[in-house]
Structure 1
Amino acid sequence: MSFYDKLLAYYRKHYMTAHIIPGIIFGIVIDALVFVYRTPDEYILCSPAIIFHGLSYDVLVMSIVIVCVLVILCYLLLMFFLYKIRTSNVNMKNIYRSLVIITLAVMFGYFGAAIVVVISDALRINVERFHLNLFSSVLASFSTSITFFVYYTISSEYREAFDKYLGIGQLKKVVSRNRTDVTITTVMASINGSSRREGG
């Protein structure tokens, strides 16, 4: 067992917390700043690309395209090797399935956003940059937002950590308890109604 494997085995919850908490904190801080500094006479465009112009904008877009292509190729190679192994291990199948979904998310997310800009510039389509950036941001945000649901659905370890640290487990218990109470109330009302009809 390598040092990394031992670290994961003994500090699994800390490891997952270290991956989850920074993103949550960053997202909350950014959202708070957006609301604090908003003004009624300005558009709020959720796009990091809005601050780039000219050559810096072109470099940013091409960098996104290159990185996304490399990420997609790496995922495809990994899926190919996993497919060649043809393992029946449930965890490996879950990994394979999550790789497929995340690859599709990257393709339709950041990669799709960058391709929209590249095609628009190449074909010289007359689209206002504001609207183009807004549409690209929606695609890029899709890639980021779907990852949580992929991990939660496919990985039991991530699901357990999310349930524990994000309070989802408590919410599930409350919803389950409410459903049980509603079911019991409905059954009791049905029994009482039947008893009254028989007595009458």
Structure 2
Amino acid sequence: MEEISVSFQIFYIVVPLISIIGNSCLVYVTIRSRKLRSACNIFIALIAGSDVLHMFAHYIMLSVYHFSSNQRINRSVCIQLQLLPTFGAGLSSIIIFSVAIDRLMSLQKFYYMLTKTHYTLYIASHLGIAAMLMLAVVSCAWAMRNSDEVICGIADAMHGQLFMLYLTALSIIGLLTLITYVAFLLKVRRMTINRDKKDIYRSLLVTNFFIVFGWLATGSGIVVNDVFNIAIDNFSLGLVIGITGNISIASNFFVYYAISKQYRTSFDHYLRISSIKSALGLTTSTFTTSVITFIK
């Protein structure tokens, strides 16, 4: 029977809480700030919102573990509880790929006119495709539900071939995301771009690389475990490998604040961080200089 150690319980309480707060701030600031209206900014906010949904999966798991009579519930009930977190987890990964495609397209001459004349349609098409794919996944999970007793982690919403297909699909999307960013970097190195765009690019690369790495590690680890029959249950393996991905998701706010001047300015203004910095005697210019020096 799978058990969740105290250290894992603490981790999956604290880190998701940081993630929910930080990513909610990203969504809030994007809604409030007129400077964060590009397609890329909207995609970043959509990823952050999806990550918030994803993080609630851990609280559902721990609630079942502590408050159910035998630390398990029926899978059909678990699926109902985990539908939104499962939807959010997959949606986030697909939109991360959309951001990579968007950044590669942004280097083309037609991109400006495309996003200017078909702004809403452009964003809606990316979101619509991702949402339809995940609706298909959660619909299949619902149709394939059974009466097994499960601890109700996010992976327990699916089982059997559907779960393996889901992990394989996310791993492929992760690989395609990395390949797209490599192509993007090769092109952008030969171009002259302004400081704000360069900061956004660095923020995207840092956050997305570790999130994609987390998904790839989780997917490949579970597949290898099943193929070679390693004596580790998939639930425990998922908890261990999930550490990297969850830390990456929780760090989104801090990475964008540290690297991107555009986001840092918006955070300072709309989250009243500038008032706190003033009270501590930290001027914006001093803080910015120290952060950039640290990043370099």
Return the letter of the residue paired with 2:195.
V
Structure number with greater CO (CA < 8 Å, separation at least 6) is 2
In the TM superposition, 1:84-95 aligns within 5 A as 84-85=190-191, 87=192, 89-95=194-200
For 2:209, the aligned partner's letter is L
Structure 1 segments of 4+ aligned residues over 4 angstroms from their partners:
13-18, 24-29, 31-38
Aligned to 1:78: 184
- TM-score with structure 2 length normalisation? 0.46
Shift of 1:65: 0.4
State the aligned residue count: 167
Structure 2 gaps, min length 5: 1-32, 73-150, 283-296
CA shift, 1:170, in A, is: 3.1
The alpha-carbon distance between structure 1 residues 29 and 170, as it changes in their structure 2 partners (threshold 3 A), is farther
- The letter of the residue matching 2:190 is K
Distance 1:56 1:13 in 2: 37
Find the aligned partners of 1:116 and 1:98 in 2 and give their Cα distance: 27
Percent identity, please.
24
2:241 is equivalent to residue 136 of structure 1: yes
Describe the shift of the 1:49–1:136 C-alpha distance in structure 2 as closer, same or farther (beyond 3 A). Answer: farther
Equivalent position amino acid for 1:125 in 2: I
Deviation at 1:69, TM superposition (A): 0.8
Q: Which residue of 1 aligns with 2:164?
A: 58
CA contact (8 A) 1:98 1:151 kept: yes
Q: Using the alignment, how far apart are the partners of 1:17 and 1:100 within structure 2?
A: 16
Find the aligned partners of 2:52 and 2:35 in 1 and give their Cα distance: 22
What's the secondary structure of 1:176's corresponding residue? coil
- Say if 2:138 is the partner of 1:110: no
CA distance in structure 1 between the partners assigned to 2:194 and 2:56 by the alignment: 40
Query: Paired residue for 1:39, among 67, 74, 82?
Result: 67
Tell me, yes or no, if structure 1 residue 23 matches structure 2 residue 49: yes
Partner of 2:275: 170
Q: How many Å apart are 1:102 and its aligned residue? A: 3.2
- 1:35-77 CA distances to partner (integer Å, 9 max, x unpaired)? 877517638x794212211111101110110111111111111
Q: Which residue of 2 aligns with 1:124?
A: 229
SS at match of 1:84: coil
Q: Choose the corresponding residue for 2:34, options 11, 24, 31.
A: 11
Task: Give me the whole-angstrom Cα distance separating, in 1, the residues matched to 2:237 and 2:211.
Answer: 19
TM-score (norm 1): 0.64
Q: CA shift at 1:127, angstroms?
A: 0.2
- Structure 1, unaligned stretches of length 5 or more? 1-9, 178-200
1:70–1:120: structure 2 CA closer, same or farther, 3 Å change rule?
A: same
Residue identity in the other structure for 2:67: T
Match of 2:229, SS state, is coil
The answer to whether 1:67 aligns with 2:184 is: no
1:157 aligned to which of 247, 262, 266: 262
- Aligned equivalents of 1:11, 1:92: Cα separation in 2: 16
Query: Are the structure 2 counterparts of residues 33 and 143 from structure 1 closer, same or farther at C-alpha, using a change threshold of 3 Å?
Result: closer
Higher Cα Rg, which structure: 1
- The offset of 1:147, in angstroms, is 2.3
